Amino acid sequence: MVAIPNHHFFQWINQLKNSGYHVYWFDVTDGGPKSKKIKWVTQIKGWKLRWDFPWRSSIKKNTPKLYKSIQRFNENSVLSTFEKTLNEIKPDVVHVFEMQLAGLPILPIMLKNKTPLIYSSWGSDMFNYKALGVGEIEVKTFLARVNYLITDCKRDYKIAIQNGFNSSFLGVFPGNGGIDINQSNIEISETRNTILIKGYDDGVGKASIVLKALELVDQVLLTSKKIIIYSADRGLKLQIDQSKFLLNLNIKIYYRTDFIPNRNLLALMGASCIHIANSISDGMPNALLEAMGMGAFPIQSNPGGVGDEVIEHNKNGLLIDNPIDEKVIAKLIEQALKNEKLRKEAQNFNVNFINSNYNRSKLLPQIVKLYKNIKAEPFK
Work out the mean pLDDT of the chain and round it to a whole number. 92
Segment 274-285 mean pLDDT: 95
In the chain, where the domains are located = 2-45+77-178+361-372, 183-358
> What pLDDT was estimated at residue 153?
95
For 256-265, how does the pLDDT look when each residue is reduced to its tens digit (9 = 90+)? Answer: 888 888 899 9
Q: Among 180, 160, 177, 179, which Cα is nearest to 168's?
A: 160
> What pLDDT was estimated at residue 66?
59
| Structure confidence at residue 270 as a pLDDT band (50, 70, 90) | very high
Helix (H, G, I), strand (E, B) or coil at 75: strand
Greater confidence (51 vs 86) lies with: 86
pTM for the model stands at 0.89
| Structure confidence at residue 133 as a pLDDT band (50, 70, 90) | confident
Segment 98-107 mean pLDDT: 95
> Which helix (H) or strand (E) segment is 227 a member of?
strand 226-232
Contact present, 146 and 126 (Cβ < 8 Å): no
Helix (H, G, I), strand (E, B) or coil at 114: coil
Q: Among 183, 211, 181, which Cα is nearest to 195's?
A: 211
C-alpha angle 149/155/156, rounded to 5°?
35
Q: What count of other Cβ atoms lies within 10 Å of the Cβ of residue 328?
A: 15
> What pLDDT was estimated at residue 132?
82
| Structure confidence at residue 56 as a pLDDT band (50, 70, 90) | low
Helix (H, G, I), strand (E, B) or coil at 334: helix
Distance CA 62, CA 48 (A): 21
pLDDT tops 90 at residue 62: no
Percent of the chain with pLDDT over 90: 82
Beta strand pairing status for 94-97 and 117-120? parallel
For 319-374, how does the pLDDT look when each residue is reduced to its tens digit (9 = 90+)? Answer: 999 999 999 999 999 999 999 999 999 999 999 999 999 999 999 999 999 998 88
> What pLDDT was estimated at residue 69?
61
Segment 93-97 mean pLDDT: 97
| Structure confidence at residue 34 as a pLDDT band (50, 70, 90) | very high
| Structure confidence at residue 29 as a pLDDT band (50, 70, 90) | very high
> Which helix (H) or strand (E) segment is 43 a member of?
strand 42-44
Distance CA 61, CA 252 (A): 32
> What pLDDT was estimated at residue 131?
80
Segment 97-123 mean pLDDT: 95
> Mean pLDDT lowest for which of 51-65, 135-149, 211-225?
51-65
> What pLDDT was estimated at residue 310?
97
For 368-380, how does the pLDDT look when each residue is reduced to its tens digit (9 = 90+)? Answer: 999 988 876 666 6
CATH code, residues 2-45+77-178+361-372: 3.40.50.2000
Q: Among 323, 300, 207, 296, which Cα is nearest to 255's?
A: 207
> What pLDDT was estimated at residue 185?
93
Contact present, 240 and 211 (Cβ < 8 Å): yes
> What pLDDT was estimated at residue 54?
56
> Which helix (H) or strand (E) segment is 26 a member of?
strand 24-27
pLDDT tops 90 at residue 55: no
Q: Can 2-45+77-178+361-372 and 183-358 be said to share one CATH topology?
A: yes
- For domain 183-358, the CATH superfamily is Glycogen Phosphorylase B; (3.40.50.2000)
> What pLDDT was estimated at residue 68?
64
Greater confidence (292 vs 377) lies with: 292
> What pLDDT was estimated at residue 58?
66
Contact present, 100 and 6 (Cβ < 8 Å): no
pLDDT tops 80 at residue 60: no
Segment 263-288 mean pLDDT: 95
Write the DSSP string, 298-324. EEEE-GGG-GGGT--BTTTBEEES-TT
> What pLDDT was estimated at residue 49?
74
